[in-house]
Chains A and B, each alone.
Chain A
Amino acid sequence: MRMEYIGLSEIAGPLIILEGVRDASYEEMVEITLTSGENRTGRVIMIEGDRVVVQVFEGTRGLSLENARTRFMGHPMELALSKDMLGRIFDGGGRPIDGLGALFPDERRDINGSAINPVSRLYPRACIQTGISAIDGMSTLIRGQKLPIFTGAGLPHNELAAQMVRQARVTGENGEDVEFAIVFAAMGIKNDTADFFKRDFEESGALQRVVMFMNLASDPIIERILTPRCALTAAEYLAFVHGYHVLVIMTDIASYCEALREFSSSKGEIPSRKGYPSYLYSDLASLYERAGMIQGQSGSVTQVPVLSMPNDDITHPIPDLTGYITEGQIVLDRSLDQGGMFPPIAVLPSLSRLMKDGIGKGYTREDHPALSNQLFSSYARVQEARALASVIGEDELSEIDKKYMAFGRLFEDRFIRQGMTENRSMEQSLDTGWDVLSALPKEELDRVDTALLSKYFKEDAALALRGGI
């Protein structure tokens, strides 16, 4: 029987401090029983001799220095795991909240996980088709990648994430479609948003392959710090024990980081940029780096975190540090959205770092790398032409700049824009790319080599499309 400590010596925000403790270890789980009979859980975050600092997941409201008894559990925070998690809903700390009772666990794992040994990793190469041209064509998602959506308040990132979940397909070894298991971690999002996702999973029939971890905006912030860790532990278990391809949607990383900041300041830590703790980079890395593939294992963990940039500022510490860890980003743009564009993906700042090794001959289609390169560079040129047109007027532009203006409109209208339920195959996306390029003279296509150009570039389509403007 473990010792129980009666009373506390200090309470500070979500933290309680005990003195005279003898058997606590770092990161150990703690159970706190109030005199009312209520149970709370916590975790040891600092030890100094017999003085122990514990963070309480549910918060310290209602606790007094007298009314609590504390028990140290002898193990770190663990999550009960089983294949039956699919289709279930848990709170941020991994407790079932769907009323279907407790899980019979096959095993329990430390939610902090361990780093994947770099020599055990398998370099991700297989592409995931999302059916969205702007992603598939220009910033292809790869199995085992971490590719966040950088967005802002009021932009349709939830719709985009839901569409990706509905349409994501990978091809198995024999060319058959393989469905994803989905792990959904809600961190500090509103109830409506959580409902939107739940409804969307239900309607698309995906619910039976979804595991949901819900920490809503009004739930305790300490649990918010645990939520992605529980979700990723479940994802790793499904991927590397049961061989599933797992797509992890985490939303919203900004709320997570704010919870971390709140927690850090309650601990009295020295703040770094914008008050965030100095370990924000390492902390985010401990989440994002849990994506990947492992040699000899059939499953994979792919992450699509959703991150709303405070004030749409991509240089804010949260998107900035995220961008340095993740393998690219999909950036949503407010002016495109205001122009009625869906998906409002700003292709120029968007990037998929793993794309180059997962597309082209043997993966998607031979022309894919050159085509996406050409679209990027031509569209960058469109921005220059537009800047000039805003000064001197479009009529005064040179002939070639006018063609770029036309190409820009076509590209946005035919290539990027698509319906929320429109699922384009890779072939369709690439062909559309060539179609819109035909608004430019052949000589302008300096990123495509001559052989591909003569095979794919269609001057006839050019006429048809131009007629359609």
Chain B
Amino acid sequence: MPYTVYGVNGPVVTVRGGREYNMMDTVYVGHERLVGEVVGLRGEDIVVQVYEDTTGLAPGHPVESTGMPMSIQLGPGLLGNIFDGIARPLRAIQSRTGFFMGRGINVSSLDADKKWDIEIKVAVGDTVSGGQAFAECKETGIIRHRAMVPPDVSGVIKTVRPPGAYTVTDVIAEVETESGARVPLTLAQQWPIRRPRPVSRRRAIDRPLITGQRIIDTLFPIAKGGCAAIPGPFGAGKTITQHQLAKWSDADIIVYLGCGERGNEMTQVLEEFSELTDPKSGRPLMERTVLIANTSNMPVAAREASIYTGMTVAEYFRDMGYHVAIMADSTSRWAEALREIAGRLEEMPAEEGFPAYLPSRLAEFYERAGYMETLDGSEGSVTVIGAVSPQGGDFSEPVTQNTKRFIRCFWALDRQLAYARHFPAINWITSYSEYTSELTAWYEERLGRKFAEQRTRVSRLLQEESQLNEIVKLIGSDILPEDQKLVIEVARVVRLGFLQQNAYHDTDTYVPIEKQMGMLGVMLELFDEARTLIDRNIPLSQLAATGIFERLIRMKYDLPNNNLDMLNDYVADIRSCVSRVFIDNNIDPGGES
């Protein structure tokens, strides 16, 4: 008896006809062959979640199983491209159905006709094992693609084709395994998205992902292979922060995952990243980027799958020895997709209607990140930066709370800061990074011991300011003692001149870590120098009248990123302002008070 549709309820379709289907098999449903996945087996009912709109499905329509779990095709041609949640290339879909998304389009992720110029890295008689590169090609101007033996294959090379131009499905070599079977090697390989790709072992995390964003690199650094969450209410700048990280972080590959978000935002990434150039290589940023766009109005089941698709692509490039960063925007939309499907499956809801397995699914996802030694012994990492969109901006809701358990870096976006147009609106009091101590060695080696010391001083200064602000709110700042006024004034310089960073300003959008340290040094210098005035009972307002505070705030725009010698001019400026104030007061700064 053939398998056919029995019932339809939104994206959940019941199928009847036999007992051979396995959990998580990919199936094609209906005459239009809509892609779906088996999510439940109940007696004679097979429950399928369909990744496309189910309008028009009717009982009796044919269903066919591939007998394989949901898999995607990996190989050269992923970079610079844009896919939907189950890795179908959106450009190919456009060429078939025009500017509105069609249904039942079964195109694999890679262009089957495109030929790649490859170099061969193995010879007949070589013993190869999973993860080893057998061929290489230039995928984009920046990235060399290493075609690897699939992780579960090993044996002896029996045949090899000469170097030249091949498509992703041409057989390049054949491997004879121990059991005597011959496995063909092609540039493309299939991998089930819900299964982590194997590695040889996890390595310790000890290197930062440098982002060029001052508040992140200096105060709340993220490690390569680490996990961070950016929670924030709408309008607080989650997406812009993600864009900034995708543009400027020093990862080799970026997987940008638009999960249940706005269509225009994906278009913007596509446009902007094609125009912007990578600061290291001078090539368009798109050449190191893979975009996965399952916007909010695309089918909800594919939204659920999209984060696994993104993760699988990231792991694939990690296995080649690259450092990959995933921007997942937003994991809350993914959690809501889980909730929506759980509701359709009539599962028992737990907190706020989310299914009880929400935390374990979140853990599965975040634990696929890490700094790894790959199967062939090289190093690669996957860093995950997940945006969280808490309901009503309330961080106590289940997705934020459960995410906090599996990430170690928390960049809390703040509505009040956003209203004041303080961007990035990362709240410096509630955010934290647990990677700081693991990364200290790296920072000290690069920037000297002073860096950690400055960071501690500045955190303390901001902490003090926030406490003083409680008092200022009640009585105003005029009657504070001078040393407390100093804390408030210098903290203001740090807030406006350092923490606030303008994503749309050519100089300010990306700031090298050396300049970050230099700027902070100048600001602390101001604190120390002003302190000498206060020690001699000179009011701070006299120093403020010189305009030095405003000049330091503008330093982020006025000081070019490539001319750090100018930092000395600022120090000299501070000192001359201070000594001028001393002279005006007829005090000899060197003398006894």
Contact = CB atoms under 8 A, between A and B. Distances in A.
A and B, one complex?
yes
Interface of A: 22-28, 46-50, 76, 110, 112-124, 144-145, 240, 269-273, 277-279, 281-282, 285-286, 288-290, 292, 294-295, 297, 315-317, 320, 323-325, 327-329, 348-349, 351, 353-354, 356-357, 369, 373, 376-377, 380-381, 384, 387-388, 391-392, 396-398, 401, 443, 446-447, 449
A383 to B, nearest CB: 9
Top-9 shortest CB links A-B = A315-B392, A285-B296, A120-B99, A25-B58, A380-B420, A289-B297, A323-B234, A114-B100, A48-B7
Interface string B305-341: 0000000000000000000000000000100110110
Contacts of A398: 476-478
A305 to B, nearest CB: 15
B340 A279 contact: yes
Nearest to A44: B8
Given A110-B55, A315-B393, A327-B264, A449 B478 contact: no
B14 A48 contact: yes
Secondary structure call for the B interface: mixed
B470 to A, nearest CB: 12
Contact of B419 (A112, A277, A348): A348
B395 interface: no
B93 A27 contact: no
A116 B478 contact: no
21 contacts: A27-B54, A27-B56, A48-B14, A116-B100, A117-B90, A117-B93, A117-B94, A120-B99, A269-B343, A278-B343, A282-B260, A286-B297, A292-B263, A315-B394, A325-B262, A354-B264, A356-B504, A369-B504, A380-B419, A391-B473, A398-B477
Contacts of A376: 419-421
A424 B150 CA distance: 65
Task: Name which of A116, A119, A398 has the most chain B CB atoms within 10 A of its CB.
Answer: A119
Nearest to B14: A48
Interface of B: 6-10, 14, 53-59, 82, 90-91, 93-94, 97-102, 233-235, 258, 260, 262-264, 266-268, 270-271, 293, 295-298, 300, 333, 336-337, 339-340, 342-343, 346, 349, 352-353, 389, 391-394, 419-422, 472-478, 496, 504, 547, 550, 553-554, 557
A373 B421 contact: yes
A26 B340 contact: no
Contacts of B7: 46-49
Nearest to B554: A446
A46 B8 contact: yes
B420 A377 contact: yes
B350 to A, nearest CB: 12
B343 A289 contact: no
A26 B57 contact: yes
Contacts of A349: 235, 419
Contacts of A282: 260, 296-297, 300, 336-337, 340
B211 to A, nearest CB: 21
Given A112-B53, A285-B295, A285-B296, 12 more contacts: A25-B55, A26-B55, A28-B56, A49-B7, A277-B343, A278-B343, A279-B340, A282-B300, A289-B297, A323-B234, A353-B235, A380-B421
A295 B90 CA distance: 14
B354 to A, nearest CB: 9
A434 B208 CA distance: 44
A424 to B, nearest CB: 23
A25 B29 CA distance: 13
Given A116-B263, A119-B82, A273-B391, A377 B421 contact: yes
Given A26-B55, A294-B99, A118 B82 contact: yes
A121 to B, nearest CB: 4
Nearest to A325: B296
B340 A115 contact: no
A436 B86 CA distance: 53
A320 B234 contact: yes
Secondary structure call for the A interface: mixed
A373 B59 CA distance: 58
Nearest to B272: A123
A388 B473 CA distance: 6
A401 B476 contact: yes
A103 to B, nearest CB: 23
B100 A113 contact: yes
A101 B102 CA distance: 34
Given A121-B267, A446-B553, A115 B56 contact: no
Contacts of A285: 260, 295-297
B6 A49 contact: yes
A22 B4 CA distance: 14
A295 B58 contact: no
A120 B55 contact: no
Nearest to A401: B476
B274 to A, nearest CB: 11
A24 B59 CA distance: 8
Nearest to A348: B419
Contacts of B557: 449
Contacts of B91: 119
Contacts of A289: 262-263, 295-297
Given A25-B56, A47-B59, A351-B235, A116 B101 contact: yes
A397 B476 contact: yes
B393 A118 contact: no
A444 to B, nearest CB: 9
A117 B101 contact: yes
A294 to B, nearest CB: 5
Contacts of B6: 48-49
Task: Name which of B9, B473, B474, B547 has the most chain A CB atoms within 10 A of its CB.
Answer: B9
Contacts of B14: 48
Nearest to B81: A119
Nearest to A21: B59
Contacts of B337: 282
A289 B263 CA distance: 7
Nearest to B89: A119
A128 B267 CA distance: 20
Given A117-B99, A289-B262, A272 B343 contact: yes
Contact of A76 (B55, B260, B268): B55
Contacts of B343: 269-270, 272, 277-279
A297 to B, nearest CB: 8
A119 B421 contact: no
Nearest to B291: A118
B351 to A, nearest CB: 11
A317 B389 CA distance: 13
A279 B344 CA distance: 10
B496 to A, nearest CB: 6
A25 B5 CA distance: 11
